[in-house]
Amino acid sequence: MGLDWDDVNTETGKINVNKSSQYLPELGVFIKNPKNEHSVRRVFMSPSVLPLLKLHRARQDDESEKFGSMWNESGKIFVTWCGKPMPPDTISRWFTNFIKRKGLPPVRFHSLRHASASLAIAMGVNVKTVSNRLGHATISTTKDIYSHALLKPDMEAAQKLDALFKNKDKKEKE
């Protein structure tokens, strides 16, 4: 929610994660530094997201034009109807309503982060790469949180080794 349009390179698909958005009743929505120095990172977005982001930008530009002087140019990607930075919990509320409308099992928006990391690990993406994308300070944090996802590649490694030894035994018998 802290992302600015300047943080996104629509040519390369790279995103600079360098701040976060927070809301406190006494301060409203404000921008702060991420949790730690490792939270500041550059990641590539999925190629299928890029056209959606460009469409979102075009719609936001249309809204800005339509509202004229009532528009608050914040430079943020996620804004309210009048351009002000959107409260950080807005996406979570939208997602909860979406899940209910679609009759899906209850899941928190933040769970998508965990699902993405688990799927990447299960598909064989290097754990260090996943750790960097998540902004974890250490790879051990990633390993601790996603140990369940690491079991599948470990099982596949055992099966591949088993197949290798079986083929070797088979050739020796011939």
pLDDT at 55 > cutoff 80: yes
Distance CA 85, CA 70 (A): 14
The count of C-alpha atoms lying within 13 angstroms of the C-alpha of 29, restricted to the half-sphere facing its C-beta, is 18
pLDDT digits (tens, 9 = 90+) for 84-113: 999 989 999 999 999 999 999 898 998 888
Residue 77 or 153, more confident = 77
Contact call for residues 17 and 135 (beta carbons, < 8 A)? yes
Res. 171 pLDDT band, cuts 50 70 90: low
Residues 6+ apart with CB under 8 A from 137: 36, 37, 38
Whether the Cβ atoms of residue 85 and residue 78 lie closer than 8 Å to each other: yes
Residue pair 1/86 in contact (Cβ under 8 Å)? The answer is yes
Which domains, from first to last, does the chain contain?
A: 1-107 (1.10.443.10), 110-174 (no CATH)
pLDDT at 144 over 90: no
167 pLDDT exceeds 80?
A: no
